[in-house]
Amino acid sequence: MMTKRYFGTDGIRGRVGQSPITPDLILQLGYAAGKVLAHAQSNGTERPRVIIGKDTRISGYMLESVLEAGLSASGVDVLLVGPMPTPAVAYLTRALRLQAGIMISASHNPFDDNGIKFFSAEGTKLPDQMELAIEALLEQPLECQSSAQLGRVRRMDDAAGRYIEFCKSTFPARMDLKGLRLVVDCAHGATYHIAPLVFHELGAEVIAMGNTPNGLNINDRCGATHLSTLQARVVAETADLGIALDGDGDRLMMVNAHGQVHDGDQLLFAIVKHRQGQAGFAGGVVGTAMTNLAVEKAFLQRGIPFVRAAVGDRHVLEMMRARNWTWGGENSGHIICHDKHSTGDGIISALQVLAAMVEHQTTLRDYTAEVTLYPQRLINVRTSQRIDLEQNPRVQATVQAALQALQGNGRVLLRASGTEPLIRVMVEGENLAQVEHWAQALATTVEAEAKAQ
What's the pLDDT at 342?
A: 94
Examine the domain organization and report whether 181 and 137 are in the same domain. Answer: no
User: 305 lies in a domain?
Assistant: yes
User: 74 lies in a domain?
Assistant: yes
Examine the domain organization and report whether 152 and 195 are in the same domain. Answer: no
User: 145 lies in a domain?
Assistant: yes
Q: Tens-digit pLDDT profile for the chain (453 aa)?
A: 567 889 987 899 999 999 999 999 999 999 999 999 887 765 556 789 999 999 999 999 999 999 999 999 999 999 999 999 999 999 999 999 999 999 999 999 999 999 999 999 999 988 889 999 999 999 899 999 999 999 999 999 999 999 999 999 999 999 999 999 999 999 999 999 999 999 999 999 999 999 999 999 999 999 999 999 999 999 999 999 999 999 999 999 999 999 999 999 999 999 999 999 898 899 999 999 889 999 999 999 999 999 999 988 889 999 999 999 999 999 999 999 999 999 999 999 999 999 999 999 999 999 999 999 999 899 999 987 778 888 899 999 999 999 999 988 889 999 888 767 889 999 999 899 999 999 999 999 999 988 887
Q: Give catalytic residue positions.
A: 107
What's the pLDDT at 2?
A: 63
Examine the domain organization and report whether 385 and 434 are in the same domain. Answer: yes
Domain end residue (candidates: 213, 232, 262): 262
User: 25 lies in a domain?
Assistant: yes
Q: Domain containing 446 — which CATH number?
A: 3.30.310.50
User: 220 lies in a domain?
Assistant: yes
Contact 288, 316 (CB under 8 A): yes
Q: Domain containing 71 — which CATH number?
A: 3.40.120.10
Characterize the bridge pairing of strands 410-416 and 422-429.
Answer: antiparallel
Model confidence over 6-23: pLDDT tens digits? 998 789 999 999 999 999
What's the pLDDT at 181?
A: 98
What's the pLDDT at 3?
A: 78
Examine the domain organization and report whether 295 and 250 are in the same domain. Answer: no
Please name which of 9, 166, 119 lies closest in space to residue 343, comparing C-alpha atoms.
Answer: 119
Examine the domain organization and report whether 144 and 18 are in the same domain. Answer: yes
Examine the domain organization and report whether 21 and 145 are in the same domain. Answer: yes
Q: How far apart are CA 93 and CA 49, in angstroms?
A: 9
What's the pLDDT at 4?
A: 84
User: Which residues span the domain enclosing 191?
Assistant: 174-262
User: 302 lies in a domain?
Assistant: yes
User: 67 lies in a domain?
Assistant: yes
Examine the domain organization and report whether 119 and 27 are in the same domain. Answer: yes
Task: Give the pTM.
Answer: 0.91
Examine the domain organization and report whether 128 and 64 are in the same domain. Answer: yes
Examine the domain organization and report whether 136 and 251 are in the same domain. Answer: no
Examine the domain organization and report whether 211 and 328 are in the same domain. Answer: no
Examine the domain organization and report whether 238 and 323 are in the same domain. Answer: no
What's the pLDDT at 215?
A: 98
User: 55 lies in a domain?
Assistant: yes
Domain end residue (candidates: 337, 355, 373): 373
Examine the domain organization and report whether 201 and 211 are in the same domain. Answer: yes
Model confidence over 344-373: pLDDT tens digits? 999 999 999 999 999 999 999 999 999 999
Total domain count, the chain: 4
